[in-house]
Structure 1
Amino acid sequence: MDICFTNTIVPNMLRGFLLNGKSISLTSCFTQFYIYFLVGTSQFLLLAVMSYDRYVAICHPLRYTAIMHRRVYLQLIAGVWLGSFFCILAPTTLIMRLPFCFDVMDHFFCDVGPLLRNSCTDTTAIQMLAFATSSVLLFSFLVTFVSYSNIVIAILKIKTVEVRGKAFSTCSSHAIMVTLIFGSCIFMYSSPKTGQTFDLDKFAAVINTVVVPLINPFIYTLRNQNVKEILKDRMFLCGKKL
């Protein structure tokens, strides 16, 4: 998901910086728009699935293998992609049928807001539909919040400090990603818009499309013991050379 998400946005954005502005065909713009929201919505749903997986692992460890088995994994992944596809199908179809009067977009990728602002017709109904479909973001956040609330309660009941630390460590990477992704996207797509907030939307979009995929591998791999040992050895060698 991170690879698809990054390659959909970042190469065109860098090209625009290098060429001091970039042109994009309407077909390419719609393709970028569709892939961005397809992968983005799938990512929200996957974060909710991951939070539920951690809830079962920590709160019901003895029943984990019975609840989370291969068939359930396949069903959840299929639900993530199918749910994302059907969620964005109607808004995407309606936006693709709009007439556009302006050919300049004040953004670094084809987002829903700039596309609707460039349309010649009244887009209030589509805006309401897009806002309604963004409820999947709130649903994913609710599942994640409930899962982590139960996780925190269960961890605080653990008396051994070492075991409690390991339990928190298990969820730390995922919790950081949830905070960054949900925080930026709720600000972008689930709040009323005014003209003054558009620059802030672009800032949040940079966090969502560039910063999070960039630091995601580092946050997850730094929990790996082998990675930690390699980094310590490299830092030790660098210190000796200096």
Structure 2
Amino acid sequence: MERENSTVVSEFILLGLTQSQHAQLLVFMLVLVFYFIILPENFLIILTIRSDPGLTAPLYFFLGNLAFLDASYSFIVAPRMLVDFLSEKKIISYRGCITQLFFLHFLGAGEMFLLVVMAFDCYVAICHPLHYSTVMNPRVCYALLLALWLGGFTHSIVQAALILRLPFCGPNQLGNFCDVPQVIKLACTDTFVVELLMVSNSGLLTLLCFLGLLASYAVILCRVKGYSSEGKNKALSTCTRHIITVFLMFGPAIFIYTRPFRAFPADKVVSLFHTVIFPLMNPVIYTLRNQEAKASMKKLLSRHMVC
């Protein structure tokens, strides 16, 4: 078969974060804590927003989708990583690797576009409050949601298609999981053009979104200078939550995807936090500083605890 002639490698060996047993145990406990403590909080956010009729603003609509994307994103790598920490032989099939890579970029790009949409929502709410209900009506919100899902799918299918065209004939050792930079380095052909396309597709897009988000929040902060003390504090609180999330999401992504795919000592650690730790924190950061959401969550928990 053509696939067998061009792709000898049928599986990849995952080397993991480190070969030290003590370090592996420490990382295992860290991932386990984040996975089983913070992950339920994301589901609690979704349940709270869906069950409280008072949380109908576009902000909560997008926040619920952010929690869903982050929870789904954490299922791509973390469960297998936890199992691999306890396994002597860490192997993933070629198809499984491509599937993992596809969904990693599908949901990751979707979340990136969602943060852009949330920044637009924040700009309209603060800078054009009188037109907010007209601009951010339900039809527009659903259209934006559909656009970000389509954008994430398009971005991911391009990544997977470029990888599928590469021949792999050994070696077959990867780091923590399957991602574009690690997989491309194993191809037994000149990958300069593919790397350039990948950097343009992932790195440049990520950098442009990041700079655009920072510019939008700079405009918002300049506009609120003339607001009253209460309005200014509320706007600053909202922008602070957004900016923290933007740096958590885009900082590691820029480090990973905006440079040539060469190994750096910090790659494995940055990839771990970018894929497992930080995504679970994003909705929590939004919710912990939102008084309405926190009050609604407390009511929901109290009602179920009483029942």
Matched AA of 1:6: S
* 2: CA distance, partners of 1:20 / 1:214: 28
Partner of residue 220, structure 1 = 286
* Structure with higher RCO (Cα < 8 A, 6+ apart): 2
Gaps of 5+ in 2: 1-68, 299-307
Listed as ranges, the matches of 1:17-166 within 5 Å are 17-102=85-170, 104-134=172-202, 135-158=204-227, 160-166=228-234
**Count of matched residue positions in the alignment of Structure 1 and Structure 2:** 228
Query: Do the aligned partners of 1:59 and 1:150 also contact (CA within 8 Å) in 2?
Result: no
Q: CA deviation at 1:76?
A: 1.1
Query: Do the aligned partners of 1:91 and 1:126 also contact (CA within 8 Å) in 2?
Result: no
Matched AA of 2:210: F
Q: What is the aligned-residue RMSD (CA, Å)? A: 2.0
Q: CA deviation at 1:157?
A: 2.4
* 2: CA distance, partners of 1:101 / 1:94: 17
Matched AA of 2:266: L
Gaps of 5+ in 1: 232-242
The answer to whether 1:10 aligns with 2:78 is yes
SS in structure 2 of the partner of residue 118 of structure 1: coil
Matched AA of 1:98: L
* 2: CA distance, partners of 1:230 / 1:65: 25
* 2: CA distance, partners of 1:123 / 1:230: 50
Matched AA of 1:166: K
Q: CA deviation at 1:21?
A: 4.5
Matched AA of 2:277: V
Q: CA deviation at 1:85?
A: 1.8
The 3 A distance-change label for structure 1 pair 76 and 172 is same
Residue-by-residue CA offset, 1:88-123 (whole Å, 9 max, x unaligned): 323311211322122533311101111111111111
Partner of residue 27, structure 2 = none
Task: Compute the TM-score of the two structures, normalised by the length of structure 2.
Answer: 0.69
* 1: CA distance, partners of 2:89 / 2:224: 51
* 1: CA distance, partners of 2:171 / 2:98: 14
Partner of residue 209, structure 1 = 275
- Compare 200-209 and 181-190 and name the one that shifted more: 200-209
Q: CA deviation at 1:204?
A: 1.5
Query: Do the aligned partners of 2:224 and 2:232 also contact (CA within 8 Å) in 1?
Result: yes
* 1: CA distance, partners of 2:143 / 2:153: 15
SS in structure 2 of the partner of residue 42 of structure 1: helix
Matched AA of 2:286: Y
Runs of 4+ in 1 over 6 A off after TM superposition: 228-231
Q: CA deviation at 1:229?
A: 10
* 1: CA distance, partners of 2:78 / 2:113: 23
- Compare 176-185 and 15-24 and name the one that shifted more: 15-24
Task: Compute the TM-score of the two structures, normalised by the length of structure 1.
Answer: 0.86
* 1: CA distance, partners of 2:116 / 2:151: 13
SS in structure 1 of the partner of residue 167 of structure 2: coil
Q: CA deviation at 1:65?
A: 0.8
SS in structure 2 of the partner of residue 24 of structure 1: strand
The answer to whether 1:172 aligns with 2:240 is yes
* 2: CA distance, partners of 1:157 / 1:98: 56
* 2: CA distance, partners of 1:202 / 1:47: 25
The 3 A distance-change label for structure 1 pair 69 and 230 is closer
